[in-house]
Structure 1
Amino acid sequence: MSSSDAVEIAFEVPGWPPIKNEALSLFSANNRQHERVRELLEATAVASRSVGWNVTDRLVGLDVTLRAPRGRPAGDATNYLGGIGDVLQDKSSPINLDLSHLGSLQQVALYLDDRQIVRVRYDVEPADNPSYSVRVVVLSHL
């Protein structure tokens, strides 16, 4: 990571986050979460271009705020965080999985591996329609 790289990125996504709760990869074209994955990648791509984000190999913090009707999300925090964490990691060398259905979105990533996430914050707020915000920050103190 060079000194000119952004150290924080934040963006909003309409709808529910991708939820990691089945054996089938989130990146499979047949996964029920396929549209949610695409929406997250599209929002990430726009935000990355806007702030000049380069994929980091450093430790990061992940903050997610989920806005849910009646304040009750359809899934649980760990499954949402797992889904978001997976989608935002590097996908350039998938093992036994064809990602060609993602097109250029396959190249969208904020970090190399979700194991780089060492700090997490998750909040739920009531709202009329589901949406969520994501913030990833490169941690300098670890």
Structure 2
Amino acid sequence: MVDHAIWKDERAGSSGGQVRPTIVFDVGGPPPVKNEALSLFAANHGQRQRVEHLLVAAAAAAKRVGWVSVRDSVELDVTVRSPSRRPSGDATNFLGGIADVLQGRKASHRIDLSHLGELAGFALFDDDSQIQEVAYRVVQDSAPSYTVQVTLR
């Protein structure tokens, strides 16, 4: 893991190169899991609390660092902490859930987002198709949580 961290740092240009805008934040509990047709944003979705925790943490971090939703390509780096070596979801479902929550939501008559209040319009990037690079890892820890990092490419 240390080698990966150094390699990623060098690639990012932190050794004298251009510094790229990055936002990093922690979220308590497990990430939202994308694994069914029902939208994660539905008021009656079983992942609703996870979605809201992610939105609150991302919005607070964005406010703290002055991040506004971007249209350029981004990198997504996720570290999931879990009491077990294998968390309750898999990488693709966690990454899909996180990406869906952090992307912009187009106005839709099919789903009511009023239960999200001010967070209904919050996004770190316009569309998850902007994600051009992904890093994912699981680390054993006493309680479930995760860290999300989005970096402009």
Give the TM-score normalised by structure 2: 0.85
Q: 1:101 aligns with which of 115, 130, 139?
A: 115
Moved over 4 A (4+): none
The answer for the alignment partner of 1:35 in structure 2 is 49
* SS of residue in 2 equivalent to 1:120: strand
The answer for the alignment partner of 1:15 in structure 2 is 29
**Is the CA contact 1:11–1:43 (under 8 Å) kept in the aligned structure 2?**
yes
Deviates more, 1:36-45 or 1:100-109: 100-109
Instruction: Give, in angstroms, the shift of residue 29 of structure 1.
Output: 0.4
The answer for the alignment partner of 2:12 in structure 1 is none
Count of residues in correspondence between the two structures: 134
Which residue identity does 1:16 align to in structure 2? P
Q: Give CA-to-partner distance per residue, 1:51-109, whole Å, 9 cap, x none.
A: 00010000000000000102221010000000000000012523521111100011221
The answer for the alignment partner of 1:89 in structure 2 is 103
Distance in 2 between the 1:28 and 1:51 partners? 29
Distance in 1 between the 2:84 and 2:135 partners? 21
Distance in 2 between the 1:71 and 1:53 partners? 33
Runs of 5+ consecutive residues of structure 1 not aligned to the other structure: 1-5
Identity %: 52
Pairwise CA RMSD of aligned residues?
1.1
**Is the CA contact 1:92–1:106 (under 8 Å) kept in the aligned structure 2?**
no
